[in-house]
Copies of this chain bind each other. A is one copy, B any other.
Amino acid sequence: MRLRDLGERGLISRIERAAAKVSGRSVVLGIGDDAALLRSRAGDDLVVSTDACVENVHFRFANESPRSIGRRALVANLSDLAAMGARPTGFVLALGAPGDVPVKVVDGLVAGLLHEAARHGCPLVGGNCSQAGEVSLAITALGAVRRGAALTRRGARAGDRVLVTGVLGAAALDRARAERRGRVRHVAEPRLRAGLALVRVREVGGCIDVSDGLEADLGHVLDAEGLAADLEPAALPMPRGFRRACAELDLEPLALALGGGEDYELVFTLRPQGPSAARLSRRLGVAVTEIGRVVSGRRPRPRGWRHFEV
């Protein structure tokens, strides 16, 4: 069956039924009215992040399952909430698709979205479906953070230590593999728990998630305060077996770890007297590695993913 056989109403009902399985305490009114209604704890600040995944730009059906595409689409948004230290409350989806897309493809996309939604307590509360020349998922995720406590890109100071959660380069390696032979399989983990814990670490300076590559994203944190950083390349945390896998594909591990996008780790600066990386690892529930230091002076322009330039 194709989307045009289902019709917009049919499609919305189908998504609504699937979405109903993921509930959230904040949802007063979900899909099916003019808008969704959410209720936060009084005094919380509202965090809003939006991101789009477009066919043949951010994903290809030829080398990735719809379910994986859906999962990655929501993870990208949840990661932005994590970088602010927010607890997810729900998301809305604007789905674009040509009428001849098989319904099972949309089912797979939605299943992937809802898989991550259920894992992270972020229900689908509303959306919009429209015809389009290609498949696209524009997602807006909402979260809550204690009033005034959100982490932002600002706040780094010269002398701060630079730390990063998890490992870098896994997503870039997976994409490189998929381009040559096979399928995209890697779905990153949005560091929501780590973000919630970081909000309580008062020595944190600036924080961001690694969506475009460590160099580019740390660059935003540094630029926000007109600073630079000395990174220790040997310290960059990489996945197990990463160097060997890179060698097999004739890839440069450091380039992937510094420039590869979609790691969705958190990179942040910390005052010198802040907790050790080992102590932070325990508090954040994920490995934390110290990779360098913030220094004064402007940094050269970072590399990273850029749209519209290809």
Interchain CB contact (< 8 A) of A37 among B46, B83, B129: B46
CB of B140 within 8 A of CB of A92, answer yes
Q: Are A92 and B132 in contact, with the CB atoms below 8 A? A: no
Q: Closest Cβ of chain B: how far from A217's Cβ, in Å?
A: 9
CA–CA, A208 and B32, complex, Å: 11
Cβ of A171 to closest chain B Cβ, rounded Å: 17
Whether A306 and B48, one on each chain, are in contact in the complex, defined by CB atoms closer than 8 angstroms, is: no
Is A180 an interface residue, CB under 8 A from the partner? no
Taking the complex as formed, is A147 at the interface, i.e. its CB lies under 8 A from any CB of chain B? yes
* Docked pose: A212 CA to B93 CA in angstroms: 19
Chain B residues whose C-beta falls within 8 Å of the C-beta of A307 in the assembled complex: 7-8, 129-131
Tell me which residues across on chain B come within 8 A of A47, comparing CB atoms: 35-37
Chain B residues with CB under 8 A of A94 = 50-52, 94, 138, 140
- Would B136 and A8 count as touching, CB distance under 8 A? no
Whether B140 and A50, one on each chain, are in contact in the complex, defined by CB atoms closer than 8 angstroms, is: yes
Tell me how far the C-beta of A110 lies from the nearest C-beta in chain B, rounded to whole angstroms: 15
Our pick among B7, B35, B42, B129 for the contact of A80 (Cβ within 8 Å) is B35
Tell whether A240 is near chain B: CB-to-CB under 8 Å.
Answer: no
Q: Decide if B308 touches A35 in the complex (CB within 8 Å).
A: no
A4 at the interface (CB under 8 A from B): yes
Q: Which of B125, B133, B147, B309 contacts A4 (CB 8 A)?
A: B309
Number of copies: 2
Chain A, 155-208, CB within 8 A of any chain B CB:
208
Interface residues of A in 33-55 (CB under 8 A from B): 33-40, 42-43, 45-52, 54
| B48, A125: Cβ atoms closer than 8 Å | yes
Q: Smallest CB–CB gap between A247 and chain B, Å?
A: 32
A143 to chain B, nearest CB (A): 7
On A, residues with C-beta under 8 Å from B are 3-4, 6-9, 11, 28-29, 32-40, 42-43, 45-52, 54, 56-58, 80-81, 83-84, 86, 90, 92-94, 96, 99, 125-134, 136, 138, 140-143, 145, 147, 150, 152-154, 208-209, 306-310
Q: A11-B308, A34-B208, A138-B138 are in contact. List 15 more A-B contacts (CB 8 A).
A: A3-B308, A6-B308, A9-B306, A35-B49, A35-B84, A35-B143, A36-B48, A37-B145, A39-B46, A39-B147, A48-B140, A49-B92, A50-B140, A131-B310, A132-B134
